[in-house]
Amino acid sequence: MHRVLIVISHADDAAAQEATNACKHLAQRGIACVFDNDDLDHFAALGVSQPEGSKTYSGEDLDLVMVLGGDGSILRAAEIVNDNPAPILGINLGHVGFMTEAERSEIPAVLDAVAAGNFSTSERTTLEVKVWQEGKEVFSSWAINEVAVEKSARERMLEVVLEIDARPVSSFGCDGVLVSTPTGSTAYAFSAGGPVVWPNVEAFVVVPLSAHALFARPLVIDPESTVAVEVLRRSPGSGVLWCDGRRTFDLGPGARIEVAKRPVPVKMVVLDNAPFADRLVRKFSLPVSGWRGPEAEA
């Protein structure tokens, strides 16, 4: 372990101080810390001194990306190191923080584990998206959680046709359509009525948003499939494309949005190999009182 990029939440002022402490902790073990320019500007805006010995990240190789924040900060970190294969470790300073691996109180222990290399990694499937207009590719991007096609005006619905593997499935008026990864199944797709998909399941979820149709249920599809959403020319409203709620592109009538599996996954640090069901219960505070377990039948 030689170089760590630290990404901080701008919504929690304490994140800057936590980053300073973490940087000092790692420096004592010979590990250099680098920061994105936006985060260094945030230190200055808060009147907090830049961590001693820290430098600006300029695309050099990294051993780890440590995120002090919530899921939104993890998505920003992935955007910063888009072409860098370094694994991402999330430490939750937010609310749910479903993608994070540890809590604020565990930071000292996490830093020791990082310095010693006592962690494993898991690969998370990502999406790539292309937008075509009048036969020309006009936009391309990627996403960890979801690609969302949404109406751009509240008062006008979006008329679309949904296609999977070059075959039409259904057309309807709607607020939009989501294509989600398993990672994103606990995010926007979950709030829109989609199923929770275990991280080790290879699948995508397609979720229509407030569709005016008899057949508009969430679909769980092969991750090798290509999903296309076409904005009909008769659509009364225009649309907008969102990738993880961070990168956006306006969609005109006749736009075609193609979503497929991205060849490059994102690596996430794993510190605890507890079952995913335990994470689900903990993060969503699900009621499990009365559970007896399999040993009760023995």
pLDDT tens per residue across span 236-264: 878 999 999 999 999 999 999 999 999 99
Q: Which pLDDT value is given to residue 298?
A: 55
Asked if residue 175 has pLDDT above 90, the reply is yes
Q: How many CA atoms lie within 13 A of 18 on its CB side?
A: 24
Rounded to 10 deg, the angle between the 37-46 and 14-27 helix axes is 120
Query: Where does the pLDDT of residue 85 fall: very low under 50, low under 70, confident under 90, or very high at 90 and above?
Result: confident
The pLDDT assigned to 32 comes to: 92
Average pLDDT on 210-224 reads: 92
- SS3 state at 292: coil
List residues with catalytic annotation.
Answer: 71
The strand pairing partners of 122, in sequence order, are 268
Measure the CA–CA gap between 4 and 57, rounded to whole angstroms. Answer: 10
**Vertex 231 angle, CA 226 and 234, to 5°:** 150
Q: Are 70 and 240 in contact (CB under 8 A)?
A: no
Contact 80, 87 (CB under 8 A): no
The 10 Å Cβ neighbour count of residue 101 is 21
What domains, with CATH codes, occur in the chain?
3-125+265-284 (3.40.50.10330), 127-261 (2.60.200.30)
Torsional sign, CA 75, 113, 102, 289: positive
- What token pair was written down for 29? 């073990």
- Per-residue pLDDT tens digits for 43-64: 888 887 888 878 899 888 999 9
Residue appearing with tokens 């590990």: 31
Sequence-distant (≥ 6) Cβ neighbours of residue 84 within 8 angstroms: 59, 61, 62, 65
Among 138, 142, 115, 149, which residue's Cα sits nearest to residue 29? 115
**In whole angstroms, what is the distance from residue 11 CA to residue 2 CA?**
28
